[in-house]
Amino acid sequence: MQGKGSVSLNVATVGIMSALMAVLSYASIVVPPPLGSIDASSVLIFLVAVLYGPVIGVSVTCIGQFIGKGLLISFYGYPAVFIPGVVAVRGVEALLVGIISRKLFKGGYGLEALAMIIGVLWETVGFVIADLYLFGAAAITTVLTIVDLVWVPFGIAAIAYVRTAFKAEYLDEHLGILGSRTRWALLIGSLSFIVCCWILIFLAGVMGLQMAPLFPS
């Protein structure tokens, strides 16, 4: 099925995938800061970024991570700056995975796995940079985020399963979604969201608010 697709299909796709992302990012194993939590949402980041492309990938990741991690962080009383932090880093991760797997090296599970590995490497570097800026040298333990590489085989398996089920290589092309206007709107909105989150991280450090909980008691 080809074409620009309906607005309702675009909204439904982003909405459903964002809800799944929120659930996976909330269903976490909570660990002490600065790591905060470990979750399997990386698998969905990989799947959406590859099968739906970088635009839907970054949109779903930003929305889902913001909601899921926001709920988790508020429930456990972690610093509020963790919320823009996860959006700022994982939003870029989804964009990288989508661009590398769909625009630079389209086709082949090996190259898609490479895109996922690069995405995790960025995720690790991004979190380390943000945490070192916010929390100082003690935050170097954030380098353990590299453990998310264990999700790469699961991401490849999930993508292979979905492709078999739908009998399609890429779902955005198969379903005919994302006209040019919708694509640009989602991309600009997502990138603006990511930039705002990085600005919030910077301001939190400047104002000394990095340890402030989301809902102070």
Summarize the confidence of residues 152-163 as an average pLDDT: 96
25-51 tens-digit pLDDT:
998 787 766 566 788 899 999 999 999
Task: Report phi then psi at 30, rounded to 5.
Answer: -80, 130
Write the DSSP string, 62-74: HHHHHHHHHHHHH
If we measure between CA atoms, which residue out of 173, 119, 176, 148 comes closest to residue 35?
Answer: 148
Give, in degrees to the nearest 5, the angle at Cα 136 between 133 and 138: 135
CA–CA gap between residue 182 and residue 66 (Å, rounded)? 21
Task: Report the mean per-residue pLDDT for the chain.
Answer: 88
CA–CA gap between residue 134 and residue 144 (Å, rounded)? 17
Helix (H) / strand (E) element for 37: namely strand 37-38
Say yes or no to pLDDT of 2 above 50: no
- Report all structural domains of the chain as residue ranges with CATH numbers, in order of start: 7-27+39-207 (1.10.1760.20)
Say yes or no to pLDDT of 139 above 90: no
137 or 55: which leads in pLDDT? 55
CA–CA gap between residue 178 and residue 125 (Å, rounded)? 31
65-122 tens-digit pLDDT:
999 999 988 888 788 888 999 999 999 999 999 999 988 777 789 999 999 999 999 9
If we measure between CA atoms, which residue out of 110, 112, 118, 114 comes closest to residue 47?
Answer: 112
Amino acid (1-letter code) at residue 6: S
CA–CA gap between residue 179 and residue 198 (Å, rounded)? 29
Write the DSSP string, 146-172: GGGGGGHHHHHHHHHHHHHHHT-S-HH
CA–CA gap between residue 81 and residue 88 (Å, rounded)? 11
CB 98 within 8 A of CB 58: yes
Beta carbons within 10 angstroms of residue 193's beta carbon: 18
